[in-house]
Amino acid sequence: MFIFAIPLMDLVAVTMQRLLSGGSPFKADRQHVHHKLLALGFAHQQVVVILYGLQLLLVLMAYASRWSSDGFLMGMYLLVLAGLGTFYYIVSSGRLRQDVIRGWSTGVLYWRTWVDSNQWLSQWCLYGLLVGMMGFFLLGVLSSFSIPTEISNLSLGLVGLVFVGTLGNAKSILLTTRMALYLGSTFVLYVAEHVLVEAASPLAGLFQGFFVLLIIGLLLAIHLDKDKRFQPNPMDYLLLLLAIAIPGLLTIQLGMMDVGEMMAKLIILFFVCEVLLQAFSSKVRQLGYVSGMVLLCLAFRVFW
């Protein structure tokens, strides 16, 4: 009930409102919660952020309350229903001043316009992502963890495939570079997580902070890109939300490593790789060489 809270409660509330007004429950109108938020003066993207944020909050609430009693869960759900009902009543009665919301929304849009007008922010975010990924690869290559023989052999086989692929046409170069970046990120993350298990807590905290910065840089780079080289869809944003929520929702241990946290980090790394491939489309061959060298270093780490 919490997971489908906003869509389900909105559907029930709108249906009841139509029935009470004597209309058909199946007739399309502008009574849904996103229409009400738009009518208050919020921009479309602001409405999307608000609804996604509320839904994520309810999912986290459901997870935090998973061992609670039925009475507690029902009480919490009734409180959520009461909150949504109060919102519907305030909007319908006109008690919420639209000029206040519009003024706040206009102020947010002003700063957003200022940020959008500075193209250098987008470029610096992209370069920051590139430097971050290179540093991440360097960490995996220079770490003290002993690479398993299976990963070393697989990396060595992939190196040959990558360098052969970079000799082909643009499509084969892009395909092999993407494969090398994805698998290289996976192998390096595996190595880094093993190192961090034995590392001091401040170092582990810095590593977590690195991924927080990656998320911020990723969102800014996508949003500020004037050329729209990477076109995210709602599923992409849902995957990013899952990347944030998975560490708390999935508790599976692989030795001393948290599988849920690793999956979340992999989603972030794959997004960064995809954005870099789109942003530096004229340098895909060079990215292929870099990823191939990372795989080559991982392959020969077994002899260190």
Question: What is the distance between the terminal CA atoms of the chain, rounded to a whole angstrom?
Answer: 54
Same domain, 81 and 137: no
Q: Among 1-5, 29-33, 220-224, 250-254, whose mean pLDDT is lowest?
A: 1-5
Q: Provide the 8-state DSSP code for 145.
A: P
Amino acid at site 287: L
Same domain, 173 and 299: yes
Higher pLDDT, 69 or 113: 69
Same domain, 165 and 299: yes
Helix (H, G, I), strand (E, B) or coil at 84: helix
For residues 190-217, give the mean pLDDT: 79
Same domain, 136 and 225: yes
Q: At which of 116, 135, 156 does a domain end?
A: 116
Which residues make Cβ contacts (< 8 Å) with residue 262, sequence separation at least 6?
Answer: 189, 190, 193, 254
pLDDT over threshold 70, residue 190: yes
- Size (the chain), residues: 304
Is the torsion defined by CA of 238, 241, 247, 251 positive or negative?
negative
Q: At which of 90, 116, 142 does a domain end?
A: 116
Q: At which of 116, 142, 165 does a domain end?
A: 116
Same domain, 132 and 220: yes
pLDDT over threshold 60, residue 245: yes
Higher pLDDT, 32 or 162: 162
Same domain, 261 and 149: yes
For residues 178-188, give the mean pLDDT: 86
Give the rounded percent of residues in the chain with a pLDDT score beyond 90.
0
Same domain, 279 and 252: yes
pLDDT digits (tens, 9 = 90+) for 290-303: 888 888 888 877 66
Same domain, 140 and 109: no
pLDDT digits (tens, 9 = 90+) for 11-39: 767 777 667 666 666 666 666 776 777 66
pLDDT digits (tens, 9 = 90+) for 249-285: 556 666 666 677 788 888 888 888 888 888 887 888 8
pLDDT over threshold 60, residue 100: no
Confidence of residue 165 (pLDDT cuts 50, 70, 90): confident
Same domain, 112 and 125: no
Distances (CA, A) of 169 to 172, 175, 277, 285: 6, 10, 16, 10
Query: 259: domain range?
Result: 118-303
- Looking at every residue in the chain, the average pLDDT score rounds to 74
Are 250 and 266 a contacting pair, CB within 8 Å?
no
Q: Among 4-13, 153-162, 180-189, 257-266, whose mean pLDDT is lowest?
A: 4-13
Same domain, 97 and 130: no
What are the two backbone dihedrals, phi and then psi, of residue 95, each rounded to the nearest 5 degrees? -75, -20
Question: Encoding tokens for residue 113?
Answer: 């316009």
Q: Report pLDDT for 107.
A: 55
Q: Report pLDDT for 5.
A: 61
Split into its structural domains, the chain has a count of 2
pLDDT digits (tens, 9 = 90+) for 115-144: 555 666 777 888 888 898 888 888 877 775
Same domain, 19 and 145: no
Same domain, 175 and 226: yes
